[in-house]
Every structure is written in C-alpha cells, then in structure tokens.
C-alpha cells in the first residue's frame, strides 16, 4: 500500500463497532513488555506498541499493565490528545459486571446551599456576642420608654428629675445609648481587625487546579500551523546530539513565516509506520521568535513506533506532516508569580518552551525553578541551553 493510500488510525475510528468482551482475568494475562493491555473506563486497550513513545517512559505503562488503569490515568490528568491516542488501540471492553465494579466511586461532600456569588465569610464568635449585647441594649431603650408613671414616682427618680439632667429618663437612656453605640462601633472594629490579622497563608488557600486560559492573545499573528489540517515541511538539517538524540530543523514556507504556536501548546507529527499512519505529539524547541524554521529535539527509541523507524530514518529533504496547535494550556505573562517544574527525559521540551518564553520576555517577572531527572548525565537534553538561561536570567530561572 502506498503512503498516499494510507489513512490515519484516528480518522478511521467509528463510534459504533463490535469488539470482544474481556474479563479482568483475561487482561491480567497481558502484562509483559511486548504484550501490555490496560483497562480505562471499562474499555480494553493494547498499548504494547505505544509504551516506548509514552512521555513518561515505558515503565509508567508497565506498572499498570494487565490491570484496570482508570484511576492512574485520571490522576495524571491526561489531555484530550492522550484520549485521542487511545482510540486506535481499543481491542475490546470489560464485561459489564467488572466494569461497574471498577468505576471510581464519586466522593460525597457536604456543601452550603447558599448562592456561589455570596460566599460565607468566616465570623468571630466574639463579634457575634458583642452584636447580641448591642441589640439587647437597644431593646432596653425601648423598655425604658415604656416604664410606668408609678415607677417614675419613686424618690430616686424624683431626685433625678430635679437634677441638671433635665428629665427622669435622660440619665439612663444616655447610659444605654452610649453603651449601645460603643458596642456597635466596637463590634465593627473588632471584625475589621480580625479580618486583617486572620491567617490565610499556606497552600490550602490556592485552588488545586488553575483553569486553562481561554483568552486569545492581544496580538495574534497568523502562522504556519493549522489545527485541523496536516501540512508538510522539508527537513533541512539533522544534528546528532547523543547516540539516541537528534535535533531536527524544518524550513517554514518563507524566511519570515512563524510557527504560530502559543506558549504552552504543542504540535502533532504524522508519519507512515508499516501499513498505517501514526501520529504523536511533540513540543518544538523553537517558537514564534524564530521565523523561518521549526526545531525539534527528539530522543529515538529502537522500539518506538514513530521514533524508532520513521523519525530515526529521516534524511535531509524529506517532508514531514505537522498539525497544531494542540493542548489546553496557553501561557500568558502574569499567569502565576512563580512556577515549580519537575521533568524527566524528553519531558523537558514543554518545560524548556516555557522557560525560554519567560526568560526572553523583559516584562515577565515570573520565577521558575526546575528539577530535571535523568538516568545518566549524557541523557540530559538541552543542557547547554538551560545552563545559559540560568546564567543570564538568575532572577527568572534556576535549576
């Protein structure tokens, strides 16, 4: 079959298709490195061919091979791209009884029925007590007005009437009014001071997730990439960085053309593998500040579907199909005052994209710290570039 006749697996996907029904016992038989099945949301997937291309490494999949991986899959926070990649790997479904038993139970949380627009503020018991006393004082004023004439004829009140206060009720009403005014004012002041000194620091004051930005940049310049269409670029340079790592440089249509990739997003590469087309996601090391080119740093795995054959054998002049931008995140200046990054292996490329954008923007004061793990020193990708950013921009970036 010629490359032109091939179709992408995701394009062949049909929502309604007959597939075998398996039990967890059946799935458990497939947990070898070259034969790995997993269950995600009641569906059975054969991920053997994808393990080496997994951004977290093959070991991540090996840990859940032969098991229901639904919880692990959701805990990681996989993107829509990951869910899309799973589709062509579907080989069956879990039997209904086990699928229902394996569903994560929904957590139950007691919440207030109050409208979300008017959240309850923490209150002080002392403030409540003071408010109650003030109210009682005001009620007492009304009670004083209702004192009977017989009571007011008491000798003590007679002496008060002849004093300079001017009337039998003036003295006590004055005391009560003054007390009430003091308590109301004191309650307000107490609540203000309590709010000022209340302890709200710590990680619990921040939401567990930060919503992806949906706002478009103020200056959106059209670039090469088209989200729903694969377009080809020629390979113009191939540099070997290590025995299993290469830098691929592709030429954009004109020297002034930019990629059109917002910071925080990535691209998809599609290539022929056997008799089908395989697509994988990558983050370029170049960005919109590099007109005329698209650069990728890729680690090659011997048994990787796309990296082991197609990308490893690319020669200068070959055309490669790209699509994008992809991904929910779109970074903008001021997104957070500080960012902590943890990366391993080829997972450094999306981090590098963000580090570069922050460091090269003079108006961005975001502070970034990076922990980058590798098995061996020679496996460290983009080491020179990262060291240079740490040296030139110490206020923004540290390793």
297 is in an annotated binding site: yes
* CA-based end-to-end distance of the chain: 49
The label of the residue with tokens 């997972």 reads 347
CA angle in degrees (0–180, nearest 5) for 223-225-228: 135
> CB-based burial of residue 69 (10 Å sphere; 0-12 exposed, 13-18 middle, 19+ buried)?
buried
- Pairwise CA distance, residues 352 & 355, whole Å: 5
**Residue length, the chain?**
399
Whole-number Å distance between alpha carbons of 293 and 287: 9
Cβ atoms of 368 and 358 within 8 Å: the answer is yes
3-state secondary structure of 18: coil
DSSP, collapsed to helix, strand or coil, labels residue 151 as helix
Q: What is the spatial distance between Cα 204 and Cα 226, in angstroms, rounded to a whole number?
A: 40
Instruction: Check whether 282 is labelled as a binding-site residue.
Output: yes
Distance CA 187, CA 270 (A): 68
Nearest to 141 by CA among 175, 182, 187: 175
Residue 349, annotated ligand binder?
Answer: yes
d(CA 214, CA 216): 6
Q: Is 299 annotated as a binding residue?
A: yes
Q: Are 261 and 289 in contact (CB under 8 A)?
A: no
Contact (Cβ atoms closer than 8 angstroms) between residue 301 and residue 307: yes
Residue 19, marked binder: no
Contacts of residue 261, Cβ cutoff 8 Å, sequence gap at least 6: 223, 225, 267, 284, 287, 288, 324, 325
Backbone angles phi, psi at 368, to 5 degrees: -120, 130
Residue 333 and residue 361 in contact, taking contact as beta carbons nearer than 8 Å = yes
Buried-exposed string 137-149: b where 16+ CB fall within 10 A, e elsewhere: bbebeeeeeeeee
Positions at the binding site for FAD = 280, 282, 297, 299, 349
Positions at the binding site = 280, 282, 297, 299, 349
């Amino acid at each position: 079959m010629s490359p032109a006749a091939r179709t992408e697996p995701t394009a062949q996907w049909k929502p309604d298709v007959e597939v075998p029904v398996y039990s967890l016992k059946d799935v458990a038989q497939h947990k070898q490195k070259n034969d790995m099945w997993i269950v995600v949301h009641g569906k059975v997937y054969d991920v053997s061919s994808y393990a080496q291309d997994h951004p977290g490494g093959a070991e991540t999949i090996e840990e859940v091979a032969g098991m229901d991986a639904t919880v692990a899959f959701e805990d990681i926070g996989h993107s829509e791209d990951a869910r899309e990649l799973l589709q062509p790997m579907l080989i069956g479904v879990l039997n209904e009884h086990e699928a229902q038993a394996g569903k994560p139970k929904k957590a139950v949380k007691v919440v207030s029925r109050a409208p979300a627009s008017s959240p309850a503020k923490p209150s002080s018991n002392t403030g409540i007590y003071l408010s109650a006393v003030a109210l009682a004082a005001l009620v007492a004023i009304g009670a004083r007005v209702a004192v009977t004439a017989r009571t007011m004829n008491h000798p003590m009140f007679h002496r008060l009437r002849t004093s300079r206060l001017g009337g039998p009720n003036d003295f006590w009403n004055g005391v009560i009014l003054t007390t009430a005014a003091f308590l109301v004012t004191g309650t307000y002041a107490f609540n203000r001071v309590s709010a000022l000194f209340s302890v709200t620091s710590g990680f619990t004051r921040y939401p567990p997730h930060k919503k992806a930005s949906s706002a478009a940049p103020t200056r959106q310049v059209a670039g090469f990439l088209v989200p729903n269409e694969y377009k080809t670029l020629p390979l113009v340079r191939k540099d070997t960085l290590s025995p299993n790592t290469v830098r691929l440089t592709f030429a954009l249509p004109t020297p002034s053309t930019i990629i059109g990739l917002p910071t925080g997003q990535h691209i998809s590469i599609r290539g022929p593998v056997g008799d089908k087309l395989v697509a994988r996601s990558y983050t370029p090391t170049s960005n919109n500040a590099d007109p005329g080119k698209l650069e990728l740093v890729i680690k090659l795995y011997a048994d990787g579907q796309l990296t082991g054959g197609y990308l490893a054998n690319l020669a200068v002049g070959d055309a490669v199909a790209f699509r994008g931008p992809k991904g929910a995140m779109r970074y903008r200046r001021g997104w957070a005052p500080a960012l902590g990054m943890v990366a391993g292996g080829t997972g450094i490329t999306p981090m590098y994209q963000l580090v570069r954008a922050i460091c090269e923007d003079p108006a961005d004061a975001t502070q970034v710290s990076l922990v980058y793990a590798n098995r061996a020193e020679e496996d460290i990708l983009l080491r020179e570039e990262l060291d240079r950013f740490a040296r030139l921009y110490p206020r923004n970036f540290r390793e």
